[in-house]
Amino acid sequence: MCATCRTEAGDCPSCRLAARIDAAATAHGRLAGRVGPSGGIPAATLSGVPTESRALAALGYPFWPLALLALFEPSRSPFVRRNAWQALGFNAGMYGLGWLFWTIAGIPFIGLGAWPLLPFVVPVTIVASVVYAFKTWHGDDVHIPFISDFVDQRSNWAARPKADREGFAAGESTQRAATSRR
């Protein structure tokens, strides 16, 4: 009996669709091939950065003082340093954006366009910082418009080998790798 049409004849569109799907599945059998990657981060990828360092870098997005602490973190991981600088830039940018909207809103007549945007600054900041924190915790590359490009230019991040850019050069920091080559 169909849950939608409550008949056994199968006249409704969902019954006809289910019959077509069942007929196609029996005609074609199983699909050849295999299941692709699960999308999770392999354990070997995250092994180069200590868990505490990753947590410190990730929590630097919602709590900017932790990003300052991450800059002085003893492992000197490029992944942690890059995310700490990005977190500081993100927080400075969002504080600056809020200050700009408040300043514009204070100007008579011109500020009327900024008043509707003011209530959204804090929620957007909170949601974005939590999303960036989760991406950092999972070892993903966080790209913040304008800020990531600025950090990459200043730290010469893009010129480093791919393994170092990910911050997981088999447990070695860039500085130790550079001194061992000399």
CB 173 within 8 A of CB 91: no
Q: Identify whether residues 24 and 106 lie together within a single domain.
A: no
| Separation between Cα atoms, residue 170 and residue 46, nearest integer Å | 9
Is the pLDDT higher at 167 or at 161? Answer: 161
Tell me the per-residue pLDDT of 77-100, one tens digit each, with 9 for 90 and over: 788 888 889 999 999 999 998 888
Domain assignment present for 85: yes
Q: Identify whether residues 54 and 108 lie together within a single domain.
A: yes
Domain assignment present for 39: no
Q: Identify whether residues 103 and 29 lie together within a single domain.
A: no
Is the pLDDT higher at 117 or at 100? Answer: 100
CB 110 within 8 A of CB 104: yes
Query: Total domain count for the chain?
Result: 2
Expressed as residue numbers, the domain containing 161 is: 45-181
Please give the structure tokens belonging to residue 165: 């850019």
Q: Identify whether residues 58 and 2 lie together within a single domain.
A: no
Residue 53: what pLDDT?
A: 80
